[in-house]
Amino acid sequence: MDPHEQGFFSEENSADVVIARNARARDKRLAEVMAVITRHLHAAVKEIEPTQAEWMEAIQFLTRTGQMCNDWRQEYILLSDVLGVSMLVDAINNRKPSGASESTVLGPFHVDDAPELPMGANICLDAKGDPMLVSGRITGTDGQPIANAKIDVWQANDEGFYDVQQRGIQPDFNLRGVFRTGADGSYHFRGVKPKFYPIPDDGPVGQLLGRLGRHPYRPAHLHYILSAEGFETLVTHIFDPDDRYIHSDAVFGVKESLLARFEPVEDPDRIAAAGFDGPYYEVVHDFVLAPKTA
C-alpha cells in the first residue's frame, strides 16, 4: 500500500495517518523527529481532551510568544527554559565521564569579546557591592592540572543586573573577564557577591509562570566557560547554596555538584593577607574537564 494511503483520519488512528503522510520526507532525521513529536502530541491531546476554546487559547499563547521575539529577546528560549527542556537538552548533549564537572545552561547574557585580564584582577569596575574573592584549580579527570586553560567568567551585580542590561549605568564589560591558568592549573579573581534575579517575566512566558503559581527568579550564581586544548569545553555556573531560590531555580539550572559556599571573611589577618580593605566573601571551587573524545 502506498504510505500515503493509511485510511481516513480518525480519533483512533490520527497519529499513524499523519506520520504516514510524511513518509517521503527527503530529510530522514526530520521524518524521525516529526514522527516522535506527532505521536506524543496526539497522545497528549487525547489525554487532555481540550475544548475548542482551550485549544485556541494555546494557539494564541504560542502566537504571543513568537510576537515577543526580537533581536535581543527570545521568548521561545525562555519557554524552553521554564519547561526544563533547555536543561534536558543540555544534559543529553553534555554527558560527562565520572569525575568531570557538570554543565548547565549558557544563559542569554554572555559577551564574546570580554577582555583578557591578569590572574587575580578585579572584574568589578564600579566598586559597587560586597567584595568577593573566587579561586580554585582546573584539572583533568586524571587529576593533573591544566595549564593555559581559558576561564571566561561573568556575573550579575549586587542588584541582579548584567552590564548589558544597564548600558550607561554599569561600565562596559563590568563583572566580566577572561583569565588563563598557569602551570599549576590554579585561578583566582575578584568580583562582588552576586544576587538572585528574575528572568524576563513581562511576556507570555512570565504570565504562564504566574498562572502556574511559580516565581521567575534564578538563585545567585557565577557563569563560567572553561576551555583548554585537548579537553571538552565546559559551560557551567557555580551557585550560592544559601540563596533563597536555590531549590526553585526558574530554569532548573542548579545541580548539587555546582554549589559553592560563599564564606564571609571578617578576620583582620585574612582580610589583610587577601589585600582587601574590609570584610569580603571567599569562594573556592575546583573544576574537572573531560578529555576530548575522537
How do residues 172-214 score in pLDDT, each as one tens digit?
A: 999 999 999 999 999 999 999 999 999 999 999 999 999 999 9
Say whether both 92 and 207 belong to one domain.
yes
Q: What is the pLDDT of residues 25-59, one digit of tens each?
A: 999 999 999 999 999 999 999 999 999 999 999 99
Say whether both 256 and 130 belong to one domain.
yes
Say whether both 104 and 28 belong to one domain.
no
Say whether both 125 and 188 belong to one domain.
yes
Q: How many residues does the chain have?
A: 294
Say whether both 211 and 128 belong to one domain.
yes
Q: What is the average per-residue pLDDT within 95-113? A: 93
* Four-residue CA torsion sign, 20, 23, 25, 28: positive
Say whether both 113 and 231 belong to one domain.
yes
Q: Is the pLDDT of residue 132 over 80?
A: yes
Q: What is the pLDDT of residues 106-116, one digit of tens each?
A: 988 999 999 99
- Give the domain extent around 98: 85-289
Q: What is the average per-residue pLDDT within 133-158? A: 97
Inside any domain, residue 175: yes
Say whether both 165 and 228 belong to one domain.
yes
CA 83 to centroid of chain Cα atoms: 13
Say whether both 207 and 141 belong to one domain.
yes
Inside any domain, residue 235: yes
Inside any domain, residue 21: yes
The CATH number covering residue 166 comes to 2.60.130.10
Say whether both 108 and 209 belong to one domain.
yes
pLDDT of residue 293: 85
Rounded to whole angstroms, how far apart are CA atoms 88 and 94?
A: 10
Q: Enumerate residues 6+ apart whose C-beta is below 8 A from 79.
A: 65, 205, 208
Q: What is the total count of domains within the chain?
A: 2
Q: What is the average per-residue pLDDT within 50-79? A: 96
DSSP string computed for 86-102: HHHHHHHHT---TTPPP
- Specify the 3-state DSSP secondary structure of 178: strand
DSSP string computed for 22-58: TTT-S-HHHHHHHHHHHHHHHHHHHHH---HHHHHHH
Q: What is the average per-residue pLDDT within 86-93? A: 96
pLDDT of residue 113: 92
Inside any domain, residue 79: no
Inside any domain, residue 56: no
Say whether both 218 and 130 belong to one domain.
yes
Inside any domain, residue 58: no
Say whether both 140 and 247 belong to one domain.
yes
Say whether both 34 and 135 belong to one domain.
no
